[in-house]
Structure 1
Amino acid sequence: MLTWHKEIIIPTAIDRVWNLFELDQIQRIMPNVVKHKPLEIKEEVIGSTYEQTYREGKRTETYIVTDIEYENTKQKKHKKVEFALAKAFKIQTAFTLIKLDDKSTKFIYTGQNEGLNLMGKTFIKLGSKKRNDKVVDAFVELVRSEALKDS
């Protein structure tokens, strides 16, 4: 299993950062997600599902994303999702925002990628932690830069 945990401070209001995780804004921080269609939206958010299509080069992959944790208060915003990718990986990612003050927000990005079958487990074992860290760092930086554009 591959896990990650990255924290940064973004010098802007918590709601500006949280807005980037809304349905109509998601492609700003996940440009490879070419489709993000709600399938079932639950009032309490947890259990909501979305069909998401991801493109990398010429390859596209479509999967179902499920909200498994959700919190939205003035001080803390949190969303955790999970999905199975290519029947080989079970991926969970969590986005947590903590209001430090009116002009600064702590952004915590955590996740795990678990192999579901021999191919998935082998791929994760052979995969580079350094390469995964680069992907995580790039995502966190993109969230920071997009949030600052809205400031």
Structure 2
Amino acid sequence: MISWRKEITIPANIETVWKLFDIDQIQRIMPNVVEHKPIDIKEGVVGSTYLQTYQEGKRKESYIVTDIEHEETDVRKHHKIEFTLAKVFHIQAAYTLIKEDDNMTRFIYSGNNEGTNFLGRSLLKLGGTKNNEKVVNEFVELVRNEALKNN
């Protein structure tokens, strides 16, 4: 299993950053997600499911994303999802925003990726933590850059 936790400070209002995670804005911070359709929306968000399609090059992969944690207050926003990719990886990812002040937000991106079978575990070992760190760093920088565009 590979786990990650990356924390940065974004010089933007917490609401500005949080809006980037809205269903109609998600492609700004996840450009490879070419489709994100609600399947079953639950009151209170937790348990809601979405059909998400990810494209890398010519390869497209669709999977079901489930909301497993959700909190939304004036000073803290938190959302955690999980999905199984290609029957090979079980992924959980959490996005947490903490209001430092009116124009400063702490963004914490954490999660884990676990191989569901021999192939998945082998691929994670081959991919290594360096590649995962690169993906995580690129994601938090994209969130920062998109938030600053709205500031």
TM-score by length of 1: 0.99
Map of 1:137 onto structure 2? 137
Map of 1:67 onto structure 2? 67
For residue 127 of structure 1, report the CA deviation from its aligned partner: 1.5
Instruction: Specify the code of the residue in structure 1 equivalent to 2:126.
Output: L
Map of 1:44 onto structure 2? 44
1:64-103 superposed matches below 5 A: 64-103=64-103
Instruction: Specify the code of the residue in structure 2 equivalent to 1:27.
Output: Q
For residue 131 of structure 1, report the CA deviation from its aligned partner: 1.0
For residue 80 of structure 1, report the CA deviation from its aligned partner: 0.2
Structure 1 stretches of 4+ with a deviation exceeding 6 A read none
For residue 137 of structure 1, report the CA deviation from its aligned partner: 0.3
Map of 2:112 onto structure 1? 112
Separation in structure 2 between the aligned mates of residue 127 and residue 150 of structure 1, nearest angstrom: 34
Unpaired segments ≥5 residues, structure 1: none
For residue 12 of structure 1, report the CA deviation from its aligned partner: 0.6
Unpaired segments ≥5 residues, structure 2: none
Separation in structure 2 between the aligned mates of residue 126 and residue 137 of structure 1, nearest angstrom: 19
Separation in structure 2 between the aligned mates of residue 31 and residue 49 of structure 1, nearest angstrom: 20
For residue 7 of structure 1, report the CA deviation from its aligned partner: 0.2
Instruction: Specify the code of the residue in structure 1 equivalent to 2:95.
Output: F
How many residues align? The count is 151
Instruction: Specify the code of the residue in structure 2 equivalent to 1:60.
Output: K
Instruction: Specify the code of the residue in structure 1 equivalent to 2:50.
Output: Y
TM-score by length of 2: 0.99
The DSSP-based 3-state class of the residue aligned with 1:145 is helix
For residue 126 of structure 1, report the CA deviation from its aligned partner: 1.5
The DSSP-based 3-state class of the residue aligned with 2:37 is strand
Instruction: Specify the code of the residue in structure 1 equivalent to 2:77.
Output: K
Instruction: Specify the code of the residue in structure 1 equivalent to 2:119.
Output: M
The DSSP-based 3-state class of the residue aligned with 1:39 is strand
For residue 67 of structure 1, report the CA deviation from its aligned partner: 0.2
Q: Deviations over 1:47-106 (max 9, x none)?
A: 000000000000000000000000000010000000000000000000000000000000
Separation in structure 1 between the aligned mates of residue 14 and residue 68 of structure 2, nearest angstrom: 21
